[in-house]
Amino acid sequence: MKVAVVGAGPAGVRAVEALLAHDIRPVWIDEAMDGGGRIYQRPPAGLRRDAKTLYGFEAPRATALHAALDAAKPRADWRPETLVWNIRPGQRQLSTLSAGRQGVVEYDAAILCTGAMDRVVPVKGWTLPGVTTMGGAQIALKSQGCGIGQRVAFLGSGPLLWLVAYQYAKAGAEVVAVLDTTRFATKLAAAPGMLRGPATFAKGLYYIGWLRAHGIRIAEGVTPLAIEGAGSVSGLSWRDAKGGVHRVECDAVGLGWGLKPEAQLADLAGIPFVFDAAQHNWVPRRDAAGRTPVTGIYLAGDGSGIGGAEVAEVAGARAALALLQDAGRRVETAALDRKLASLGRFRVALEKAFPFPSHLAAGLPDDALFCRCEGLTVGELRATTTGPAIPAPELNRAKAISRAGMGRCQGRVCGAAAAEILAAQLGCSVAEVGRLRGQAPVKPIPLTATP
């Protein structure tokens, strides 16, 4: 049986490991050079640091995952630096691109572990050099030993906000402000549920406490006003919960409001998407074991709905077992199923603690750019709902009219905000405005790529 696994982060590694344990040697494809996923990405040669410095509290998990990754690579048909840019579920084929060459991988069953990226809300001035995603700021530090600037402000919400700010301060960068758009009261209300994942909760409190103890400026319940600068970032302004306006001088800003699935391949595979109210996002439909309505396609990890790295490891192994079960093998799944169920309950609490700030996207000024690829303003998107073109009752019509989501990132970056802006303009829910449909190639491929 031909099995393909896409992705070599926590879910992909554990999926491949489980397949190998049952004598299946999958084709294993990853876009990065060395696997590990975004969270456990290892720096290139020359920058090797010990796991404790790189991954902090997560060092034991990172080390264990790297060991599994390195053990599995030679046993699988390992293909790093390879992009899967299309999937043809009818023919059961993946279209790949590696070092400028196109290829085809045939499969009987495939497990997609495509991971996540930052969920962002545009802020006026967010295209200025000096602004990165929170994940990008973390990659610069972990994988390149660099800070995104000399004086850095962090803006957003969620566990990564505090973690990245802490990592920067520890590395010797000047963190000038940590601005959380979530009010303290919202987080507090979710605390009882968060206690279901005591380790995660305690780590979060530790970072916040550390930042406070080191005198770093922290504000909660803020509304970002603008990232300022001519040619590059020179400051950031915001409004506090009581209406006061503040500004810090900085030369870099890290932005992020949690993560969103990189689910483009699942979309192209024809898997229906459902609106997940807790995550406030569209996720591909799958059962708890990772089975989808499309025969032969399984999903695991953050690419199938955000659950975090710990969940991804369990889900990757579980999806591999589902594949084996469907192929008629007898496997034991009860322990994994129990673990997934208990981790899932903590996730719901986390989403409640850091809800997506719909109001911020909806409240953006007309002259703010929301689409980096096509240079579109919020006003241009809002205008699609009135005339003179056909009114846009949903996202794909707005896309046809305004080119929103048609750019080179395919709506990865602006999609979440575009949905909020349209929904607010039309007076309906984000679930009702729909979701941008995916198209191949999932990432731009050079026209010169040789077949």
**Where on the chain is the footprint of another protein (CB under 8 A)?**
31, 33, 38, 43-47, 49, 117-118, 127-133, 135-137, 139-141, 144-150, 171-173, 231-233, 251-252, 262, 369, 372-375, 407-409, 412-413, 443-444, 446, 448
Least Cβ distance, residue 351 to another protein (angstroms)? 22
Closest CA to 104 of 115, 113, 114, 96: 96
Estimate to the nearest angstrom the gap between the alpha carbon of 423 and the chain centroid. 22
- Give min distance, CB of 32 to another protein, in A: 8
Compare residues 86 and 317 and give the one whose CB is closer to another protein. 86
Q: Is 86 left (phi over 0), alpha (psi -120 to 50) or beta?
A: beta
**Closest CB to another protein among residues 353, 376:** 376
Beta bridge partners, 49, equal: none
Nearest Cα neighbor of 396 from 441, 436, 444, 451 is: 436
Measured from the CB atom, the residue of 197 and 261 that comes closer to another protein is 261
| Cβ at position 11, least distance to another protein in Å | 17
The smaller minimum CB distance to another protein, of residues 229 and 284, is found at 229
- Tell me the closest approach of the beta carbon of residue 216 to another protein, in angstroms: 17
Q: C-beta of 101: minimal distance to another protein in Å?
A: 13
Least distance in Å: CB of 244 to another protein? Answer: 29
Nearest residue (CB) to another protein, 122 versus 296: 122
Residue where the block lists tokens 């504000």: 219
Chain center to CA of 10: 14
Contact predicate 144/241, CB 8 Å: no
Which residue, chain included where needed, has tokens 């997940």?
A: 276
41 to each of 34, 110, 262, 382, how far by Cα in Å? Answer: 8, 23, 17, 39
Q: How far is the CB of 268 from another protein (least distance, A)?
A: 16
Q: Which is nearer to another protein, 232 or 342 (CB)?
A: 232
Half-sphere exposure of 152 (CA within 13 A, CB side): 30
Expressed in angstroms, the distance from the first to the final Cα of the chain is 26
Closest CB to another protein among residues 327, 409? 409
Contact 350, 194 (CB under 8 A): yes
Query: Tokens 């390992």 map to which residue?
Result: 78
Measured from the CB of residue 142, what is the shortest distance to another protein in angstroms? 9
Rounded Cα–Cα distance for residues 361 and 374 (Å): 18
Helix, strand or coil, per DSSP, at residue 359:
helix
Q: Nearer Cβ to another protein, position 18 or 255?
A: 255
Q: Both tokens of residue 191? A: 């605390």
